[in-house]
């Protein structure tokens, strides 16, 4: 079993990473393989509903969203971590999730997730 933990912080090894490492340690202690995927410090653009992904299965913006989508089939579960800004996830993480699930919601069917 493998779980991907998504770090939605612009700081690769900040507080969100530290929290995800705690989760990863617990999962690994139970024999679950983990991988932390950092969305990066570059801005993540929101979806513009162009429909290109319906034709190709990936976003025309060749960024962290497409890199993450390549990992989805090999994962059995997901944990999404983000800093909280004004009672909500960071904007880049919201844009990331909007695009990931718009493109590939069916790829996540039946797989557990946590935030």
pLDDT the model gives residue 110: 87
Residues 6+ apart with CB under 8 A from 70: none
Residues 6+ apart with CB under 8 A from 16: 7, 8, 9, 81, 82, 83
Q: How much is the mean pLDDT over the chain?
A: 94
DSSP category for residue 72: G
Both tokens of 104, joined, read: 């590939």
Report residues of the chain scoring pLDDT below 70. none
For residue range 36-50, list pLDDT tens digits in order: 999 999 999 999 999
Q: Which residues pair with 113 in a beta bridge?
A: 78
């Amino acid at each position: 079993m493998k779980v991907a933990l998504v770090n939605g912080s612009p700081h690769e090894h900040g507080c969100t990473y530290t929290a995800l490492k705690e989760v990863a340690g617990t999962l690994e202690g139970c024999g679950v393989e983990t991988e932390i995927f950092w969305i990066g410090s570059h801005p993540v653009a929101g979806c513009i509903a162009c429909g290109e992904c319906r034709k190709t299965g990936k976003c025309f913006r060749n960024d962290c969203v497409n890199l993450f989508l390549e990992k989805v089939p090999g994962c059995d579960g997901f944990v999404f971590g983000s800093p909280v800004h004004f009672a909500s996830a960071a904007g880049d993480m919201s844009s990331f999730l909007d695009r990931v699930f718009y493109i590939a919601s069916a790829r996540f069917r039946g797989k557990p997730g946590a935030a």
